Structure 1
Amino acid sequence: MLPQRYIAITERKQAELSAAIPEEWRLPSKLIPEGMLSISESIAEPKYQRVGVMDIPRTCGLLTTKELDLTENFGIRALVGEMTEGHVKAEDVVRGFCKRAAIAQQLTRCLTEPLFDRALQRARDLDDYLQRTGKPIGPLHGLPISVKDTFNIKGVDSSIGLSTLAFKPAKENAPLVDLLESLGAVIIAKTNIPQTLATLDSANHLFGRTLNPLNRQWTAGGSTGGEGALLAMRGSMVGFGTDIGGSIRVPAMCQGLYGIKPSNGRVPFGGQQNGQIEGKGRIGLQAVAGPLAHSVADINAIMGEIVPRAEFFGEDCIPGLWSAPTPSRNFTVGVLKTDGLVTPLPPILRILDEVADSLRRTPGVEVVEIPLPSALPKCQGLAGRLMGVDDGSHMLDLIESMDEDLIPWLQGRMKRGKALDVTQLAKLQAQRAEVEKEMMKMWTQSSSSRSRRIDAIICPVAPHPVPEIDRYNAVGYTSTFVLLDYPAGVVPVRPFLDSDLEIGRAMDDPVLGSWDKANRKLWDEKTVDRRVYLGSPLSVQVVTPKQHDYQLFQAMELVDRAVQGRASPSAKL
């Protein structure tokens, strides 16, 4: 039999990817862990053994002391200030991050398109401009940034892990790319995603599987998993992804990062390759673009530059300001413990309680319990149906055109369906409107004595800790807030501890349904060794009402301060 046509393209693309890493940036083979996974292999190590690669950038000897400092110890504003004040050249900053991204790629397969040569040339141009004029190009002058593979960059592939789209470079930039570059940012790489962009573990035949650098047994998340791994290894200052079911928030949770899914219209979304029929998002469920970052302060810094300018770059954006008046009353945070479909596992409820207790001790913050809204359990199914309004043929046609197989996780899960007609679609959107109307009540809590406005809620990102590869279970806690168009962000809290294991103690809550049953397999000691979760990041999700994006930042900052402060003590903000 002749080899499948996609294999030759995959080999060619992998060779191109390898050639983009200079010889002097290559790791010795002894530093690369054995058993780097293909999309179908499994790990032979004991389930409780943690195998991470986070220390390798610091110990491999490829990065100078100055490069380690620049890539690890600065927030966005401080790093840009170092460049614009002439303390360090943009070229030196960008080289440090490119080297670190190259290291991350060799250890995690997080990149699809290393853009190191063009990034260094861009940095030199920025340095020349600053020297000639005494002025920076913009407020993000020299800032190293990465973007999900879906975003078009002129002259660069947007293959989204599909062999049929490889070696077909984009003809123009996505509006977000133009906006970032107008601000002075330097895009150093594009990052890996899952085949079809529709799974929560980033694996495809063209680029392989992205591994979680904290522990390669854990999923890196998806579909913005490459960004998550690259950011975790400090190979970029900010990474931009997209989110329709949780694709920004899930990788943030899996790698202990901060990430936000903004409201529609806040960040330019157009100019992307997603393998879908053109305009699908306008009639079904609309994804949004947003950042992953190392701190709440960095989220604030990047969104503060994008939101006020977005309307001038994206036809899908609205006028906006990144500010809000200081509230004259206490900031009220609601605690929402369940979506009514999947009961969170014990460590998830525990971390939610811990955050709530920390907030109760914070001056100016009032914490209240949110009863389960009657409409909330309807959201997951409705979001899923709106994601699948077409028959899936366009994506499958692309895959099958090169004899490409579905990745193992998708086999048996993805098949051609039946597209909705206009009447069916209108009915779904009418149901959505009714749910949106019902959910508005969640933001006002009434008692016999008063009515109280809820400024933000905290809830789980997922009903389980960071799971092993291909075991991420329920998306309802994230897809719901895309359906409702509520801005939502992730704040890491602490690692999973021995005290969270509860060895020998089983859940005795009634099983709510098939999703809940599947979730419990991630805690049942017959189907998982709970020790695999040790050291994994535990996070909470913060949500605010529609278009209250700056209020989301304020709420994330409150949560972050309450549990651990905005950044490590050594960070220069």
Structure 2
Amino acid sequence: MVFFLDYIQHKRDCKFKQDERAERIRALAQYHGPFTAQDRDIINKPIEQLVQGVHKGELQPIDLLQTYGKVALKAHEKTNCLTEVMISAAEGWVQDGSINFSGPLAGIPVSLKDTINVGGFDSTVGYSSFVGNKPDQDGATVRLLKDAGAVPYVKTNLPITLLSFESTNDVWGRCTNPHNSKYSPGGSTGGEAALLALGGRIGIGSDVAGSVRAPAHFSGIYSLRCSTGRWPKAGFATSMPGQEGIPSVYSPMARTLNDLTYFTGALIGMQPWKYDGSVHPLPWRLEVEQEYLTKSKFRVGVMRTDGVVDPSPACVRALEITEAALKQAGHEIVEIDPPSPYEALYLGAHLLNADGCQMFKSFFRYGEWDDPGADQMDWLMRLPRPFKFLYYLWVKYVRKDDVWAGLVKDWHPKSAFENWKLVARREAYKVKWFDWWNSVDVDFLITPPNATPAVPHDGMKDAVSSCGYTFLFNLLDYACGIIPVTHVDKNLDKLPSTFNIKKLNGVAQGAYKLYDAEAMHGLPVAIQVVGRRLEEEKVLAIMKRVEDALGDDKYDLLDID
């Protein structure tokens, strides 16, 4: 009976939130309908011009809100990307003095991952048990945004557990890719990516294994994974409170590189360490940005594979396009052999789930839908150790798959002693990379962001472990940026006739089960630019240089209908 009542409450809470969202959207009569000439003008102006227009009184913040409110509702109709629709409340904030319109983001609407706390609105994280958890006051990050002049106006969809490159949950439903509704927009900040791809301006997500980078790659936008301590993270809800093995970072996302760079510099220029004690008091370093905007020749390390899942033809082609453009611009390409990325995947997976998946499972209600990837991790974690050991022996000695066998062998909850040993190995691994990078003396790396483009819905059941290209740099805490480069081409990106999935390791098999160039035709494909820890200014400047080098091959953004 207890389970039945829990399930009934789950269904009631999900219906309540979906009805509430639908009613809020219906009430926004003036936000429905086609874009006006003024809307088009606002959408096409660089962010600096919009801010200047507000400062000079030539643009009214309410006009910007009305434009981007329309954008958000149209994007939601197509992809189910929104959770909390805060537009009516935002109209009040614009009028009542809650927002500082002399700030560097004056009047700019900003979208937020559902986890970020806004006073008066829930942060469900996709769990029905979190429905009704709305705080009375804004969290520190939202206070900072309002003091900078930004207008929070919507929150965006995500996966339950936050441990997925998809964005689906019972509370809000499934978010779809803006290019192809059969595919995921990415995760865990997938709703944000879908909105930005369809015309949103700037947003904030979080990243513990690639959660602002995979969505940018899947959906065709730009994002920056900041190092810990560079971007504020106070005032949020999470599925894994207390998890410190691989710290989650909050980071910016944007439709264009210009917006991403402006937004990042503007927010750090607001001295976020005065709002959040975890932020380093490190001002935005214009001199570093300028150095890499003007440096004549780069040494570019190319990480072609993570050694676990070789990149698919589409992702190889995006990397080769970028490499050729950089060579043409006079930069030196350096073939690299870094410390084992597989070791990072092993350490990251075990550190992130050292609790045995107990914390993220503790918030579920009876009968609540679980992300298939997270469910796979939990199922294997709960498998009795004797059976798990037999499975390990079969994988290692019968299938002869050392990669998958190594991941599953010790896949159980860790004692404090075991966890400490993993942390010690993590720190030693960071030193290996530090020394290696010094020895090769490259300015930055380019890598695929993922082995494949976007995954089809529920594909994370197979691809849950295929996250090494992003997860590696969470463990290292390096600054990374995503640049969309091209689209999947069904003719150029087919697998070769000699390809044999059965010869791949278990992680790679899971990824390649989902790769189909014909079905994926038109999906975005990006590359990842990697700097070292706390090199956000450098990474953004290099992203600009890479995009300039691409020239006519620069990625075409989705049209805004």
Give me the TM-score of the superposition, normalised by structure 2: 0.86
Shift of 1:367: 2.1
Change (3 A) 1:467 1:280: closer
Q: What secondary structure, in the 3-state scheme, does the structure 2 residue paired with 1:215 have?
A: coil
User: Aligned ranges for residues 102-501 of structure 1 at < 5 Å?
Assistant: 102-125=73-96, 136-234=101-199, 236-277=200-241, 279-281=242-244, 284-308=245-269, 309-323=271-285, 324-325=287-288, 326=291, 330-363=297-330, 365-371=331-337, 373-400=338-365, 403-407=367-371, 410-415=374-379, 419-445=413-439, 453-471=441-459, 473=463, 474-501=466-493
The one-letter amino acid paired with 1:479 is F
The one-letter amino acid paired with 2:523 is S
Residues paired across the two proteins, number? 514
Note if contact 1:200-1:470 (Cα within 8 Å) is conserved in structure 2: no
Q: Whole-Å Cα distance in 1 between the matches of residues 509 and 557 of structure 2?
A: 42
* From 34, 40, 44, the counterpart of 1:68: 40
Change (3 A) 1:274 1:360: same
The one-letter amino acid paired with 2:530 is V
Which has the larger share of helix? 2
Note if contact 1:25-1:102 (Cα within 8 Å) is conserved in structure 2: no
Q: Whole-Å Cα distance in 2 between the matches of residues 432 and 458 of structure 1?
A: 23
Q: Whole-Å Cα distance in 2 between the matches of residues 423 and 456 of structure 1?
A: 36
Q: Whole-Å Cα distance in 1 between the matches of residues 510 and 144 of structure 2?
A: 42
Note if contact 2:126-2:158 (Cα within 8 Å) is conserved in structure 1: yes
Note if contact 2:212-2:253 (Cα within 8 Å) is conserved in structure 1: yes
Shift of 1:125: 4.2
Q: Whole-Å Cα distance in 2 between the matches of residues 433 and 70 of structure 1?
A: 47
Note if contact 1:467-1:533 (Cα within 8 Å) is conserved in structure 2: no
Note if contact 1:496-1:536 (Cα within 8 Å) is conserved in structure 2: yes
* From 14, 18, 21, the counterpart of 1:10: 14
> Corresponding residue for 1:21?
25
- Structure 2 residue runs of 5 or longer lacking an equivalent are 383-411
Change (3 A) 1:503 1:455: closer
The one-letter amino acid paired with 2:54 is M
Note if contact 2:225-2:251 (Cα within 8 Å) is conserved in structure 1: yes
Note if contact 1:443-1:454 (Cα within 8 Å) is conserved in structure 2: yes
Note if contact 2:205-2:211 (Cα within 8 Å) is conserved in structure 1: yes
Q: Deviations over 1:491-534 (max 9, x none)?
A: 001122244233763436994521122223234xxxx4x31111
Q: Whole-Å Cα distance in 1 between the matches of residues 375 and 477 of structure 2?
A: 31
Shift of 1:465: 2.0
Shift of 1:107: 2.1
User: Is residue 531 of structure 2 the alignment partner of residue 544 of structure 1?
Assistant: yes
> Corresponding residue for 1:535?
522
Note if contact 1:436-1:484 (Cα within 8 Å) is conserved in structure 2: yes
Q: Whole-Å Cα distance in 1 between the matches of residues 493 and 537 of structure 2?
A: 36
Q: What secondary structure, in the 3-state scheme, does the structure 1 residue paired with 2:362 have?
A: helix
Change (3 A) 1:514 1:129: closer
Q: Whole-Å Cα distance in 2 between the matches of residues 167 and 403 of structure 1?
A: 19
Q: Whole-Å Cα distance in 2 between the matches of residues 16 and 256 of structure 1?
A: 30
Note if contact 1:113-1:191 (Cα within 8 Å) is conserved in structure 2: yes
Q: Whole-Å Cα distance in 1 between the matches of residues 483 and 204 of structure 2?
A: 17
Q: What secondary structure, in the 3-state scheme, does the structure 1 residue paired with 2:112 have?
A: strand
Shift of 1:206: 0.5
The one-letter amino acid paired with 1:484 is L
Note if contact 2:220-2:557 (Cα within 8 Å) is conserved in structure 1: no
Q: Deviations over 1:174-233 (max 9, x none)?
A: 222111111000000111111111111100000000011211012111000110111111
Change (3 A) 1:239 1:63: same
> Corresponding residue for 1:34?
none
> Corresponding residue for 1:36?
none
Give me the TM-score of the superposition, normalised by structure 1: 0.84
The one-letter amino acid paired with 2:164 is T
Shift of 1:96: 1.2
Q: Whole-Å Cα distance in 1 between the matches of residues 13 and 33 of structure 2?
A: 34
Q: Whole-Å Cα distance in 2 between the matches of residues 124 and 248 of structure 1?
A: 32
- Which is worse superposed, 74-83 or 259-268? 74-83
Q: Whole-Å Cα distance in 1 between the matches of residues 416 and 99 of structure 2?
A: 54
Q: Whole-Å Cα distance in 2 between the matches of residues 312 and 348 of structure 1?
A: 41
Change (3 A) 1:513 1:193: same
Q: Whole-Å Cα distance in 2 between the matches of residues 375 and 559 of structure 1?
A: 26
Q: Whole-Å Cα distance in 1 between the matches of residues 201 and 375 of structure 2?
A: 36
Q: What secondary structure, in the 3-state scheme, does the structure 2 residue paired with 1:245 have?
A: coil
The one-letter amino acid paired with 2:76 is Q
Q: Whole-Å Cα distance in 1 between the matches of residues 196 and 555 of structure 2?
A: 15
- Which is worse superposed, 180-189 or 513-522? 513-522
